[in-house]
Amino acid sequence: MLITALLFLLSAAAIYAACEYFVNSIEWLGHKLKLGETATGTVLAAFGTALPESAVTFVAVIMGRTPEVRDIGVGAAMGGPLVLATIAYAVVGIALWSCRKRLGRATLHVQVKNARLARDQGWFLSIFIVKCALGLLAFAFKPWLGVLFLLAYALYVWRELKDEGDTADHEELEPLKFQPRAAIPSMLAVSLQAMISLLVIAVASHVFVSQIESIGLAVHLPPHLVALVLSPVATELPETMNALIWVRQGKERLALANISGAMMIQATVPSALAIFATPWLFDAPLVVSGALTMLAIVYLWGLFKRGRVDGRALLPVGLLYVVFAFYVVHALA
């Protein structure tokens, strides 16, 4: 148990440290590719941090030999968006409030392009509704519909890269950690830092999730509780860490873009894999998970649609994950 606790703490620290290097390199990569901050967050950062979770789903649903193992992939495809739509956004609100004095903010207004984030929420919600509806129906050609989710993500990426309205609106970049004395680091150094930090994030996240599962067994938590409630939080830790780091630097546009882009990946790519390889039929916890995710997105869409979002208004969505945890505990009792 002592070794488990030590690995738990060390892996969490490694994830945070690697995320520091990752966000630093991804900002420079976006600058090198002439992308705006929002596209850098929604496409580059989100794609990188979502790779570990997508790999978990791929291994579970494509290589899994039993229905129980494949169900883990389905749970991951549903649990990821719920964590991002609730805990990750709440973390942004908490970070803004706690860092307001250091950042010299007179208000807690989130400095982002509200209309673009509202559009992203609406885009995600429309896809997520279809995804959940398929989980309630059974028909022969359902696996073929997984292709539509991959096409939807490709269209989303194309739209994000095409929309360069914020390209010139970049924050001042910190020196690349691999080349701290270079005013303009080389593309090789930027790419190398991004790949190494991403590899550390992937390995540390795997260790972190394993320790979460071991701790759950050690304290006699039901396996389903660990799989449905604790594991999704652990697998989405890189996105949450990225958001925390960027908000502390006063770059909440990048933080929220990263969350938004990661949600879009979670709504499409892992879901497509699961639809290809499983019946994609929901039990009660997955239905509740989907309903709470949609409720959170509708709330966030309304906030960004009105504009001038106060960071404190992001906090209530975090309570929806608490509601889900209580539901799962009660259902397993």
- Mean pLDDT score, 245-265: 89
**What single string gives the DSSP state of each residue in 229-240?**
IIHHHHHTHHHH
Number of Cβ within 10 Å of residue 66's Cβ equals 8
DSSP H helices in the chain: 2-32, 37-39, 46-62, 67-83, 89-98, 114-134, 146-162, 187-218, 223-225, 231-235, 237-248, 252-277, 284-306, 316-332
- Mean pLDDT score, 148-167: 81
Q: Identify the residue with better confidence: 34 or 150.
A: 150
Q: What is the pLDDT of residue 188?
A: 95
Q: What is the pLDDT of residues 111-141, one digit of tens each?
A: 788 888 898 899 999 999 999 999 999 888 9
Residue 82 has pLDDT above 80, yes or no: yes
Q: What is the pLDDT of residue 69?
A: 62
Q: What is the pLDDT of residues 201-227, one digit of tens each?
A: 888 877 887 787 777 777 776 666 676
The three-state secondary structure class of 310 is strand
- Mean pLDDT score, 250-254: 86
Q: What is the pLDDT of residues 168-198, one digit of tens each?
A: 455 578 899 999 988 899 999 999 999 999 8
pLDDT tier, 7 (very low <50, low <70, confident <90, very high otherwise):
confident
Residue 107 has pLDDT above 80, yes or no: no
Tell me whether residue 35 is exposed, middle or buried, using C-beta atoms within 10 angstroms of its C-beta: 0 to 12, 13 to 18, 19 or more: buried
Q: What is the pLDDT of residue 168?
A: 46
CA separation, residue 273 to residues 60, 66, 144, 268, 292 (Å):
10, 16, 11, 9, 23
122-131, 142-151, 227-236, 321-330: least confident range: 227-236
Q: Which of 85, 62, 84 is nearest to 74 (CA)?
A: 62
3-7, 50-54, 124-128, 159-163: least confident range: 50-54
- Mean pLDDT score, 259-281: 89
